[in-house]
């Protein structure tokens, strides 16, 4: 069995964003040479997420609005975690959206369903954060 590991770094200039990272994951898969196996993609920070869904701007807007209703950023005083910080809401948003995804690799390609894409979700940006890509297989 072969393995491949690479870290991507994102420095989102805003507090929140959704970025389609499917092309970067596909590039890593190509570099790995793995034809059959699994790819793990996970956010290496507790205020960021990786998830799979449709690349549709209305959906991303709806996610942003929904998450802000569930865990509003302000007032920051509503959270106990915000002692010297203002990102408690980002931790909660990450918990909802998830830490990682695993995708099957078939014939050297990501084995997606219709419309599926991989996204990096940022909930407390404005600094560099890492995403791990780990591919195993033959």
pLDDT digits (tens, 9 = 90+) for 56-103: 999 999 999 999 999 999 999 999 998 778 999 999 999 999 999 999
Nearest to 118 by CA among 107, 96, 103: 103
The span from the first CA to the last CA of the chain, in angstroms, equals: 5
> How far apart (Å, rounded) are the C-alpha atoms in residues 65 and 82?
22
Give CATH for domain 2-137.
Answer: 2.60.120.460
pLDDT digits (tens, 9 = 90+) for 28-43: 999 999 999 999 999 9
């Amino acid at each position: 069995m072969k393995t491949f590991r690479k870290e991507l770094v994102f420095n989102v200039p805003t507090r929140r964003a959704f970025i389609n990272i499917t092309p970067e994951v596909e590039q890593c898969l190509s570099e790995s040479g793995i034809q059959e196996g699994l790819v793990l993609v996970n956010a290496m920070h507790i205020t960021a997420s990786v998830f799979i869904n449709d690349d549709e701007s209305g959906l991303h807007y709806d996610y942003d609005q929904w998450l802000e209703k569930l865990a509003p950023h302000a007032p920051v005083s509503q959270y106990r975690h915000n002692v010297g910080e203002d990102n408690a809401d980002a931790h909660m948003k990450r918990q909802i959206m998830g830490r990682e995804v695993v995708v099957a690799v078939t014939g050297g390609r990501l084995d997606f369903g219709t419309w599926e894409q991989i996204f990096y979700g940022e909930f407390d940006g404005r600094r560099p954060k890492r995403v791990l890509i780990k591919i195993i297989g033959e």
